[in-house]
Structure 1
């Protein structure tokens, strides 16, 4: 009896062993049937993103490569030299640098109190040889490094007001004014020496055309001598900066301080990329200026619509208001922050941190030439997101623009793409909850994905292109096709 029991147990063990050995090691360990023996469907694979680099639309982004009172002093050019290659790889093709010459404040000057137009950090004056940003040699190294990485360098130009000259009697104001600029008085380079006759009022002009800064040292551009030194002569500011220093273009500071013909005359003489600081939120004022000068302009109209919609009124209907990019997309330089807005104590002149990325999503997907602010890009919480937005801008942000839906807390815009480029759909929401909305796309029977990475939802359009997309709470998404 015992032997039969042992023999039975032995046979049972052999059967179990043979059954386990007969199972292929690659066979799934889960049963593809449910409890009733019904075969279950194979899960759909996740959609694959398209290769954005295959859709290069030729568009790029500018970097404002400074902020107010940059630190450390005397090392800024070297700091930028170490970053420019990485910026180029990210899709940036121009850097806008601060006024590069000696100002009255010497080693503390941000350059806007311009004294010597030809001292790039090589003459001892105003208490320093180097500028706040470094030496001339370091600046030249930055420019060369930028050019080696296919990045243009845009110089900030202050031709409205001067500062840091010596006192002299001014008969047109019947008092002493700081209008004497020579080798001993704030102009050690000896180039473009000037006196009271070069400023308003003088023997040619009896009025100041409305400058709000340094009224007594507001350059008179009607004087032939001033024109010669600023842009006409072979060693003028414009031609020296372009031909000797290697600058590729200009950011004209405070153009409200002089007439538009000055910018046009400069550009007619030397050309180059140009953008003006015309601080006015009226799109028509900006439009008229670019028509009169041929220059690009910072799109302050767009900036204020973003500030109003995201911050001041919390109403995204503002985003459909009049902006320069709507009329002249090739003349609009869009932005969300600059050195002035970030130091301004007026809360209506800057976009709050919590809304910055929504604002960047707007300018990176709409027409215009976006400008990224240094402090935003170098912020560890923003950088990866900004790199992704730049990649989207340089690839999918192309074609006609169409607003699909807008209300107080939702804004949906479509770029129609061109040729084989599919374009995109931007969805911004300032609601406290996730939003979904049905829209009309250009894509039929295609699964979409959010290329911002803010949503994991993957809707599929129908045969007519209708599709429901979503935006995360108080955020944005950017939709396009998948493989």
Structure 2
């Protein structure tokens, strides 16, 4: 994750304002749409009347190498009221169990699933995880629930780290593996002790035909003992996390185990779930959600946004049919613009640039799918994202119709439902203001941009046609006035 060592949050906020605030002059400009210069704020409808029954967005409430170490649960605890007021209905926390890296672990090197910050491991006097103590975790979950926010645990069940060294006789010529987990070897809780037979290869098979993440300590989910301790027992990992108050699960790197194990986990303990199938192929994602019955992060959508906004700088592909999970199965698509992996320092060429972040958020927060907000993005673009979240939770309803998808422009219409008028998103990545006549769903109505990126107040004719605009390098979201 970028640490922003030489750039302050204030600077990032100013950058965010510039990204959406620039309005250039060009032959595409049409000043007639600004006739009257009416302040659009006074024309807006009260969007609360359109709040959806299932309103809410997902918040990834951490980034890679969060600081301060040992206090992260308290940091997020202080933000819960703001998240709730903004329209967040779930937060995703990092894997809560103790990792092999101790107080430096981000949870992706799981060692003791049952140590959520209350045991000393391998002589380490510090009992807390990188994120805090069990008491602080439970306090955060309790406060989240009091504010109507569900809490999702990161589940890393494909591989383990930090066990004691032992021989695995089923590994010819390479028998030594760190696969012994007991009270003296990284499992101070004494629950779910493991040995080499619980990893690959074992007496059932050499591997489970899935991609191996850490080949020597790849957990074998076909072993009944592993199934029992992960989700089947009344005191399993799943039931323990549920007892802490977790409401659902984010399954890490699901390529390393069969989708049926996600199905079994969910059937046993219930709750919301989402899988991290790190793949930009929408068909791969669709096959996985069909097999697991769980939603998945829409990496195909992420890569299309990265491609169109940054690498190609051409929005045409956003109009292609069926090139994202949200287009194939919107109810199973969890969309996102950034996460802890895409924002790591080494991923400079595998991320959406900060200059294009709000354009990407304008896309996922107006289309179907369940959008995710990344912690650092919210810190950088708080006001703009609050506006987009409000729009998503109210006006972003009805069928999606792409009106224009060309090099510089993307225009999409949501049809609305009942009294809800829906919206029109107009994205523009050129260096000048763009205008285009668009056929809307609204006849003889005055329109306004609910993001305030344009102050124009165009009027539709009797057939619903209106001259809309989008600022240079920015977006506008149009709907009717009150």
Residues 98 and 156, structure 1, Cα contact 8 Å, conserved in 2: yes
Aligned residues: 438
CA contact (8 A) 2:90 2:152 kept: yes
User: Residue 49 in 1 paired to residue 44 in 2?
Assistant: yes
**Structure 2 residue runs without a partner (length 5+):** 1-35
> Which structure has the bigger radius of gyration?
1
User: Does residue 1:108 correspond to 2:131, yes or no?
Assistant: no
Alignment correspondent of 1:64: 60
Alignment-derived partner of residue 258 in structure 2: 259
Aligned equivalent of 2:330: 329
In structure 2, the residue matched to 1:10 is none
* Contact 1:307 1:348 survives alignment (8 Å): no
CA distance in 1, matches of 2:118, 2:404: 57
Secondary structure at 1:337's aligned position in 2? coil
Match of 2:158 in 1: 160
TM-score under structure 1 length normalisation: 0.89
Deviations 1:364-416 (A, max 9, x none): 0000000000001012xx11000000011001000000001121000000000
**Aligned with 2:129 (options 117, 128, 131):** 131
Aligned counterpart, 2:239: 239
User: Which moves more between the two structures, 385-394 or 346-355?
Assistant: 346-355
- The alpha-carbon deviation at position 348 of structure 1 amounts to 3.9
In structure 1, the partner of 2:69 is: 73
Deviations 1:123-149 (CA, angstroms, capped at 9, x unpaired): 001523100001000000001000000
In 2, Cα distance between equivalents of 1:212 and 1:310: 33
Distance in 2, Cα, partners of 1:44 & 1:285: 49
- Contact persistence 2:37–2:456 (CA under 8 A): no
Partner of 2:372: 371
Q: Quick one: distance in 2 between partners of 1:393 and 1:254?
A: 28
Q: Relative to 1, partners in 2 of residues 1:207 and 1:44: Cα closer, same or farther, differing over 3 Å?
A: closer
Provide Cα deviations, 1:192-232, integer angstroms capped at 9, x if missing partner.
00100100111111235344432111100001111111111
Please report how far the alpha carbon of residue 48 of structure 1 lies from its aligned counterpart in structure 2 after TM superposition. Answer: 1.4
User: 2:420 is matched with which residue?
Assistant: 421
RMSD between superposed Cα atoms in Å: 1.2
Partner of 2:184: 184
Determine the structure 1 residue equivalent to 2:6: none
- SS of residue in 1 equivalent to 2:376: helix
Deviation at 1:169, TM superposition (A): 1.6
Give the match for residue 269 of structure 2. 270
Alignment match, 1:171? 169
1:55-112 residue CA offsets vs partner (Å, 9 max, x unmatched): 1023210100000000000000011111111100110000000011100000000010
1:195 aligned residue: 195
Moved over 6 A (4+): none
Segments of structure 1 that go 5 or more residues without pairing to the other structure are: 1-42
TM-superposed CA distance for 1:344, in Å, is 5.1
Give the TM-score taking structure 2 as reference length: 0.89
